[in-house]
Each structure stands twice: as C-alpha cells, then as structure tokens.
C-alpha cells in the first residue's frame, strides 16, 4: 500500500483517492517508495526523450520534456516551488510567511522562482550529451524524491495539520533507511562513483536548503518539500553536465 500512496502523491496517474481516514503510518510507509517512483518518472521521461529525438530537433524535445514532467506530476513540485518562494522570500514574520504560502495566488517571487528553475533545467537538458540523457533523467527523478524524504525526516514541520504533517508523523526509521538504500544503490547502478558523488551533493544541498528554510519559518511545509524536490532535480541535471 505504501507504493500506491507514493504513486498517488507524486504522480498525476488516475488512481483512486486516499481514504480520508488513512492513518499517518500509511503515509510514512510511502516514503520508502519515493526514490523508486521518482526513478520510474525519470524512466518515463527518458523513453519519451528518445522517441521525440527521432522526430524533432533537440530544442523542441527539451521544451516538450519540461511540459511532460509537469503533466506527469500534476505540477506538484512546481506549485510547491512557487508557493515556497513567495513565502520564504517575503519581507514578513514567520507566521505571515506561512499565510502567504497558503494563498492560492502566485506572487512575483513564485513566478520568478519557477521561471529560473525551468530555464536552468532547459539549459541542463541542452548541455547533456545524447548518451547521457536517459541516465540523467532517471537519476534526477531518483535523487530529487530522495531529497524530499530527507527533508521530511530531518526537519520539523511547521503546521499542526496538513498532508505534509501526515508524512512527517508517519515517517519511520526503516522507511527512511529503505529510501536511503534505494537512492544510493540506484545512483551507483546508474553511474557508479559519479552517481554516488552526485547523490552526496544532492543530499548536502537538501540539508542546506532545509536549514536555510528554518531561518525563515518555524518548520518546513509540504510546499517546501516540493520546492526542495524541484531544486534537487535540476541540481542533479546540472551536475551531470559538468565535464
């Protein structure tokens, strides 16, 4: 059941809704599956990338990949990124920042944050060699969702209720350990030592982002989890373009 919950949360697949009385443990068990679901999303994009490159020029394919990534996830992480940027960069006290992040309207910081991330992601796609692209997409999906698990496990949650609170309260050491092992094994399998080094860099970046968020908020929120995932996905791609 943890896998199904992870698929419901991380993808836009037409799956049955989570029961309203689902216990926190159910969400906690789902964390163990986050890296695998991320890798499956990356694999889907990799297959799409290869197929599109047989027909379209690379610049068009890169744009279509950005669109496909948003559609496959229902824009979840981009929405979280926009809300997190609006709150975290606002000149306000922590309580007001949390209120801003609840607002469904997107402000200037949110628009700028999403635009910057998408532009960097497009540039990273352009900088990857053809033989790198498939592996890079899978690794980015894997490590970005591992980063979300890390954020849930390491940092306090800001709100008394909410979906993010359910994941936080349901997190268990065994599930987090399973996510660690999946991310590390997947990174090593895909790119050996280079993959492990990228995984380490993403882990460090996640920790730094979480620590910085705590200077602005009393704890993390679901939006911040999504923002961390989006940033770490792009960071993975950027690191893989380095020669």
Q: What is the pLDDT of residue 62?
A: 97
The span from the CA of 135 to the CA of 122, in Å, is 16
* Tens-digit pLDDT string for the chain (243 aa): 688 889 998 999 888 776 666 676 788 889 999 999 999 999 999 999 999 999 999 999 999 999 999 999 998 889 999 999 999 999 999 999 999 999 888 999 999 999 999 999 999 999 999 999 999 999 999 999 999 999 999 999 998 887 888 889 888 999 999 999 999 999 999 999 999 999 999 999 999 999 999 999 999 999 999 999 999 999 999 999 996
What pTM value is reported for the model?
A: 0.94
The gap between the terminal CA atoms of the chain, to the nearest Å, is 41
Q: What is the pLDDT of residue 100?
A: 94
Phi, psi of 217, rounded to the nearest 5 degrees: -135, 160
- Indicate the SS3 state at residue 157: strand
Whole-Å CA distances, 32 to 52, 60, 174, 178: 32, 35, 8, 5
**For the chain, what are the domain ranges?**
27-158+169-241
Identify which of 126, 120, 122 has the alpha carbon closest to the alpha carbon of residue 231. Answer: 120
Give the CA diameter of the chain: 52
The span from the CA of 40 to the CA of 51, in Å, is 17
């Amino acid at each position: 059941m943890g896998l199904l919950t992870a698929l419901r949360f991380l993808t836009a697949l037409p799956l049955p809704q989570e029961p309203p009385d689902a216990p926190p443990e159910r969400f906690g068990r789902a964390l163990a599956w986050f890296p695998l679901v991320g890798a499956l999303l990356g694999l889907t994009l990799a297959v799409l990338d290869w197929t599109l490159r047989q027909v379209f020029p690379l610049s068009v394919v890169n744009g279509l990949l950005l669109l496909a990534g948003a559609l496959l996830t229902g824009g979840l992480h981009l929405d979280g990124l926009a809300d997190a940027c609006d709150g975290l960069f606002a000149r306000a006290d922590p309580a007001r920042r949390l209120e801003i992040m609840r607002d469904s309207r997107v402000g200037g910081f949110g628009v700028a944050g999403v635009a910057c991330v998408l532009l960097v992601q497009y540039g990273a796609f352009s900088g990857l060699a053809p033989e790198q692209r498939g592996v890079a997409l899978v690794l980015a999906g894997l490590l970005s969702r591992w980063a979300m698990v890390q954020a849930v496990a390491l940092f306090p949650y800001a709100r008394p209720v909410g979906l993010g609170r359910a994941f936080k309260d349901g997190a268990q050491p065994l599930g987090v350990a399973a996510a660690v092992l999946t991310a590390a094994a997947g990174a090593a399998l895909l790119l050996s030592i280079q993959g492990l080094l990228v995984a380490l860099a993403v882990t460090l970046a996640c920790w730094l982002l979480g620590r910085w968020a705590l200077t602005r908020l009393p704890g993390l929120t679901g939006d911040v989890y999504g923002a961390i995932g989006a940033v770490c996905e792009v960071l993975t791609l950027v690191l893989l373009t380095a020669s």
